[in-house]
Amino acid sequence: MISTPSVNAAALVAIDMHVHAHHPETRSSEAGRAAEAYFKPSDVPLDLDGTAAYFRERHMACVIFTVDETLSGQPQVDNETVLAGAQRNPDVLIPFVSVDPTRATAPNEARRLIETGRVRGFKLHPPLQQFFPNDRAVYPFYEVVEAARLPIVFHTGHSGIGTGVRGGGGVRLKYGQPMPIDDVAVDFPDLPIVMAHPSFPWQDEALSICMHKPNVYIDLSGWSPKYFPANLVQYANTQLRDKVLFGSDYPLISPDRWLADFEKLPIKEDVRERILKTNAVRLLGL
């Protein structure tokens, strides 16, 4: 049984679909230092309770998650810590978990997490977990998640992790191509899918998939809106007005920074509310 978070959607101004649980030792890793040089993040709270207070103060809720990977060398917050933080702050933290789907134990681990009743979705990062989303070897994992009708957020496009590091830190950008996700959307039509980030350099692919497949969404995290390509803004304003979601990429990009730049985009007022909150409310069942 999946529990409903104690989020009062009517009282919120926005729901941030893309917030990372931050390990306190991340800055000590080469990848962590390179990511900070790339994103130039603001000074925001990094612990879970501080993150919750940050969003609560702004009348926002957020989807918060970790990434189950070892490639980057960054220490990761474990799923149980994320779930416990959300239990302490159920009014603002909506917990997603992460499982490396390439492990043989992934379906059982996903099932165990879902059976806690505390999980609201999953986060996958193909470039860091080193797999193509349409690899049939990971389909048993998708079967478990689809059966629970929980969404999966897939990283797509360029990776800020590894940018500027020798050899890209081992991160292979090919795994971030959106088109393999189209196969997943066909083979698992009842699985809600969120393609995270403007999918540079494959933005047109992402837009096409999102238009074509009813179960696919796009979150706008990881880039300041002032850098959004014109076609993304155009489709967000029109055909995809019900499929595009606000996401910041906290703590590397703060909601304050993202929203200030988003305010300057030529987005219709009724569409602005859908992107910032209404679409996420529907997707998350709030």
Residue 90, domain CATH: 3.20.20.140
Nearest to 252 by CA among 57, 77, 36: 36
Q: How confident is the model at residue 149 (pLDDT cuts 50, 70, 90)?
A: very high
Percentage of the chain modeled with pLDDT above 90: 85
pLDDT exceeds 60 at position 254: yes
Q: Count CB atoms within 10 A of the CB of residue 211.
A: 13
Q: What is the DSSP string of 103-153?
A: STTHHHHHHHHHHTT----EEE-HHHHT--TT-GGGHHHHHHHHHTT--EE
pLDDT exceeds 70 at position 154: yes
At 98, the amino acid letter reads S
Q: Mean pLDDT across the stretch 253-263?
A: 96
In a domain, 3, yes or no: no
Which has more pLDDT, 2 or 32? 32
In a domain, 42, yes or no: yes
Which has more pLDDT, 57 or 160? 57
Using CB atoms within 10 Å of the CB of residue 56, give its burial: 0 to 12 exposed, 13 to 18 middle, 19+ buried.
Answer: middle
Say which residues have a Cβ less than 8 Å from residue 142's Cβ, sequence separation at least 6.
101, 152, 184, 187, 188, 191
Q: Mean pLDDT across the stretch 211-216?
A: 98
In a domain, 2, yes or no: no
pLDDT exceeds 60 at position 60: yes
Nearest to 139 by CA among 174, 80, 180: 180
In a domain, 4, yes or no: no
Q: Count CB atoms within 10 A of the CB of residue 71.
A: 18
Q: How many domains does the chain have?
A: 1
**What pLDDT was estimated at residue 30?**
65
Q: How confident is the model at residue 1 (pLDDT cuts 50, 70, 90)?
A: very low
Total-model pTM: 0.94
Report yes or no: 156 and 197 within 8 Å, Cβ to Cβ.
yes
Q: Mean pLDDT across the stretch 156-179?
A: 94
**What pLDDT was estimated at residue 22?**
86
pLDDT digits (tens, 9 = 90+) for 18-45: 999 987 765 656 666 655 665 566 789 8
Say which residues have a Cβ less than 8 Å from residue 184's Cβ, sequence separation at least 6.
133, 134, 142, 191, 193
Q: Mean pLDDT across the stretch 77-105?
A: 97
**What pLDDT was estimated at residue 280?**
98
In a domain, 171, yes or no: yes
Q: Which residue has the tokens 């990283």?
A: 155
Quick one: tokens of 230?
A: 């014109």
**What pLDDT was estimated at residue 72?**
87
Per the prediction, the chain carries an average pLDDT of: 93
In a domain, 40, yes or no: yes
In a domain, 156, yes or no: yes
pLDDT exceeds 80 at position 202: yes
pLDDT exceeds 50 at position 166: yes
**What pLDDT was estimated at residue 45?**
87
In a domain, 111, yes or no: yes
Residue 130 belongs to what domain range?
Answer: 9-284
Q: Mean pLDDT across the stretch 215-237?
A: 96
pLDDT digits (tens, 9 = 90+) for 277-286: 999 999 999 9
